[in-house]
Amino acid sequence: MTSLTLVRRIKARPSIVFDAITTAEGIAQWWGPDAGPVLIAEADPRKGGRYRVRFRMLDGTEHECSGEYLDVVRPERVVMSWRWQGGQEDPNESRVEIALKAVPEGTEITFTHSHLDEETRRSHEEGWTGALDKLEARFAGGEAA
Amino acid sequence: MSSDELFRNTVPKPNLTRLTTRREAPILSDMVNYQQRLDRTFAALVDPTRRAILAQLERKSSASVGELAQPFAIKLPAVLKHLSVLADAGLITRTKSGRTVTVRLRPQPMREAMAWLSRYERFWAGSLDRLAAYAERKEAEPRGKEK
């Protein structure tokens, strides 16, 4: 199945990283691909709770995503469903899983956005594992920074 | 202003164009087409035989159907069927000259699929940079409330 994985090391304790990811206060500080502001950040980080984030990019466009927390284990794991509001950019629901591991310099974060091809996957129940080896290999090249 | 006008005035969303990478024209139908194309591309790529065919075509500039069928332990009609799926998804072109059908790779749909995936990559790579900067700032703050 199509997924995107990013691994990164952060010089901060897992509990600090975890709170940055799961609290509205934290989310407001970093969510979004460029220096544009977060306009709305809501988070109820417990299983079944929801989050909603709206951000503006430097080009002036606004985007909103929201979903449900599927699993929350402080400070090591968060799983949440993901959907762009209005389904404009991508109408399908996908899944975001963030795993935090304590390492000597702080935290190793493994970030996986999966089920990116949910619709297609449904019609091809089993075929997906390793289906896009080539595409994934491209990403593997640019992974950890 | 009628509600119809109001609706029309609020509905167009210029932000669509960036993430869809499509022309602005009729955005919605364009989006649907785009999603359908992506679905077709991914569906075509699901099958290992079809991926192997694409890999072969990537190595050579073109190949005949016979050449493409050679490495596989399946019958020619099955290979032809796979080629049809790939052609429908726009991943290959077939040109007939006499009795020979020449198959070539058509990279556009693959590029589109890549672009679609790299949107997410850009989104998260940028966000994680900011997350790291923020968490490291927090870590550097005077301790107290954290264990």
Q: What pLDDT is stored for residue A43 in this prediction? A: 97
| Tens-digit pLDDT profile for residues B31-43 | 667 777 888 888 8
Nearest C-alpha neighbor of B131 from the set A89, A59, A84, A98 = A98
Tokens of A81: 């469903």
Strands (E), B47-133: 62-64, 92-97, 100-105
| Tens-digit pLDDT profile for residues A52-74 | 999 998 888 888 999 999 999 99
| Integer Cα distance of B23 and B31 in angstroms | 10
Q: Does residue B136 surpass a pLDDT of 90? A: yes
Among the partner-chain residues B15, B120, B134, the one whose CB lies closest to the CB of A63 is B15
Neighboring chain A residues of B43 at a CB cutoff of 8 Å? 120, 123-124
Please provide the average confidence, as pLDDT, over all residues in chain B.
76
Please provide the average confidence, as pLDDT, over all residues in chain A.
80
- Indicate the pLDDT class of residue B10, thresholds 50, 70 and 90: very low
pTM listed for this prediction: 0.62
DSSP characters for A16-74? Answer: HHHHHHHSHHHHHHH-SSSSPPEEEEEE--STT-EEEEEEE-TTS-EEEEEEEEEEEET
Q: Do A59 and B18 touch (CB under 8 A)?
A: yes
Which residue of A lies nearest to B126 if distances are taken between CA atoms? A33
CB A20 within 8 A of CB B134: yes
| Tens-digit pLDDT profile for residues A99-115 | 999 999 999 999 898 87
- Indicate the pLDDT class of residue A29, thresholds 50, 70 and 90: very high
Instruction: Indicate whether this complex's ipTM tops 0.85.
Output: no
- DSSP letter assigned to residue A118: H
Q: Do B139 and A26 touch (CB under 8 A)?
A: no
Q: Which long-range contacts (CB under 8 A, 24 or more apart) does B52-56 make?
A: B53/B79, B53/B82, B53/B83, B53/B86, B53/B92, B54/B86, B54/B91, B54/B92, B54/B105, B55/A134
**Residue type present at position B90:** G
| Tens-digit pLDDT profile for residues A78-103 | 999 998 886 555 667 889 999 999 99
Q: Does residue A27 surpass a pLDDT of 60? A: yes
Q: What pLDDT is stored for residue A77 in this prediction? A: 97
| Tens-digit pLDDT profile for residues B47-94 | 889 988 988 888 887 899 988 998 888 888 999 999 999 999 999 999
Residue pairs spanning A and B at CB distance below 8 A:
128
Top pLDDT among B89 and A134 is at: B89
